[in-house]
Amino acid sequence: MYQFYDGWALTRFGSSNSLYERVTERNNISGIAEKIVQALSFAFGTITCMTFCAFSHIRLKTACWILTTFLLTACAALPVSAPRLAAQTLSVDPTLTPFQPQAGALVNPALQPATPQIQPTYTPYPTKYVLVENLPTPLVIPSPDGGMPDFSLLNTNNPLTGLPVADPSLLERRPMVIKVANSPDYIRPQSGLTLADVVYEYYIEWGDTRFIAVLYGNDSTMVGPVRSGRYFDEHVARMYNAFLVFKGADPRELSYLEKSTLNDFLVIVYSNDSVCPPVIIGPERRDSYNNAFFNTTQWAACARRNGVDNSKPALRSAFFTEQVAQGAALNATRVYSFFSKYNYSYWDYDPATHKYFRYQESNDMVGDNVEAYAPLFDKQTGLPVTTENVVVLFAPYTFENQYDAHDEVYHIDLLDSGNAYVFRDGAAAPALWHRTDLDQPLLLTTLTGNPIYLRPGRTFYEVMGVTSAYSQAGSDWHFVFQTP
């Protein structure tokens, strides 16, 4: 047994195979010294350790500590060989990388190369400037009485025809509704029909018909012969807010018109020349009753002289277009109107001009006379009477009492609605006419209620009774007037 100074005791029992059996820690000796002893015995063997522990003298102890420090430093500097790496073989099959595109897989459009964009070019500022005085004149929308702008005033076309006019100042006046004779036969050809915007033909009495010519966008020095007025004339005058020009009337009808609100717009002419109203006696040598013509060019001055309101009224335009409606149209080459054996006619369509030409009876169908026609001309212009649109209206013809029935003084009720046929561009269209207020014009619609577009130009209305018959034979249409 060996006793160490500083309180370390090392006891050896038995053989040298067991280096220590116990290490006792004393007062101020830390566990670090124990670790050093253990390290020395492991690295340098038991002899070195026992040598270290055998020095008991204090001076020798210092040398021992120095030797120990040196040995520890030398151990730290010994080269250590690098560990040998051994290759290992894995038995696990490799998995596909999720970002690797698979065969047959859809191509992600987001991964496709971007389409090269056109390189933007620089647009230089203009080097030439527009002077203010070269700018177009600003469009001024008229505002009557300082109110809301009236966009209808921008339209310089004739609202009754849909066509521009040669003299736009004519549209700044009130239209004129002028009664024109169609019988007896010797008064033909009439004057002014080819200058009218709209014409109505209706049955009056004893087999005869009469025209109402509406002049607005044109003037004529002679319109006529002017004939007497009827109840029905009120409807046409109110539809166009027009002057009603006629040559007297039956006392019953004249009294009715003079008591109506149209009284200020009645223009009654007589069988003599006059300046106001402007009436011209025709050159033909015939009875004066059928030889008076109205001069529309002088009416404005006459109205101004007498303080008559000749200002432009609010006129609602019809629907016009040159385009032909597509669909299963009914062919209509000729449109016949048979009012009586004394008065019958037809309209013949000309595809080259898109017009219907008027043919009037050339003899009465009395005795052995057969149906015969001749073209109708306008004596004032020398032109054939034509129209772009033919409209057949079915309206009630009634009598107010038995005395009116005896004299055939008809009331034609063109108010509310009724059936009609519209002919344009060689085709026929079943239609409805509507007029819900006395001072409104007619509105033509399809059977389903859509507006019907007329061809720009003149419109000629044939006013048939609701009991009238009609038939179709190929492209020929026949309308036969029947009295109530």
**Cis peptide before 351, with omega less than 30 degrees from 0?**
no
409 CB contacts (<8 Å, ≥6 apart)?
205, 230, 231, 250, 252, 253, 399, 400, 403
Please give the structure tokens belonging to residue 355. Answer: 């017009």
Query: What was the pLDDT predicted at 426?
Result: 95
Q: Which residues are within 8 A (CB) of 223 and not within 5 positions of it... i.e. 6 or more apart?
A: 178, 180, 191, 192, 195, 196, 213, 215, 293, 294, 295, 296, 380
Determine contact, residues 240/216, Cβ cutoff 8 Å. yes
* Side-chain-side CA neighbours of residue 31 (13 Å): 0
Q: What is the pLDDT of residue 132?
A: 46
Q: Which long-range contacts (CB under 8 A, 24 or more apart) does 407-410 make?
A: 407/205, 407/250, 408/204, 408/205, 408/206, 408/483, 409/205, 409/230, 409/231, 409/250, 409/252, 409/253, 410/203, 410/204, 410/205, 410/230, 410/231, 410/232
Give me the count of residues in the chain: 484
Q: Using CA atoms, how far apart are residues 287 and 367, in angstroms rounded to an integer?
A: 27
| CA–CA dist 95, 85 (Å, integer) | 26
- Joined tokens for residue 450: 């859509």
Residue type for position 72: L
Tokens 């207020």 — which residue? 437
At the fourth CATH level, which superfamily is domain 162-480? YerB-like (3.50.90.10)
Residue type, 36: I
Q: Are 316 and 440 in contact (CB under 8 A)?
A: yes
What's the confidence (pLDDT) of residue 408? 86
pTM: 0.69
Bridge partners of residue 420, in order along the sequence: 393, 431
- Residue ranges per structural domain of the chain: 2-72, 162-480
Check residue 150 and give left, alpha or beta (phi > 0: left; psi -120 to 50: alpha): beta
Both tokens assigned to 139: 């469009």
Q: Which residues contact 383 (CB under 8 A, 6 or more apart)?
A: 194, 377
Which residue in 235, 215, 227, 229 sits closest to 279, CA to CA? Answer: 227
Please choose, from the candidates 99, 103, 237, the residue with its C-alpha nearest in 3D space to the C-alpha of residue 176: 237
Those residues whose C-beta lies under 8 Å from the C-beta of residue 378, and which sit 6 or more positions away, are 189, 190, 191, 192, 193, 194, 195, 384, 385
Nearest-angstrom CA–CA distance, 55 and 5: 8
SS3 177: strand
The residue type of 278 is P
Per DSSP, the three-state class of 179 is: strand
Extended strands (E) in 160-264: 176-181, 198-203, 209-215, 243-246
Average pLDDT along the chain, 484 residues, taken 10 residues at a time: 39 39 40 48 47 46 57 50 47 49 53 56 49 50 57 71 93 96 94 97 95 97 95 95 94 93 92 86 89 95 94 88 80 96 97 97 91 96 97 94 85 94 96 92 93 96 95 96 82
- CA distances 192 to 59, 195, 379, 382, Å, are 158, 5, 8, 10
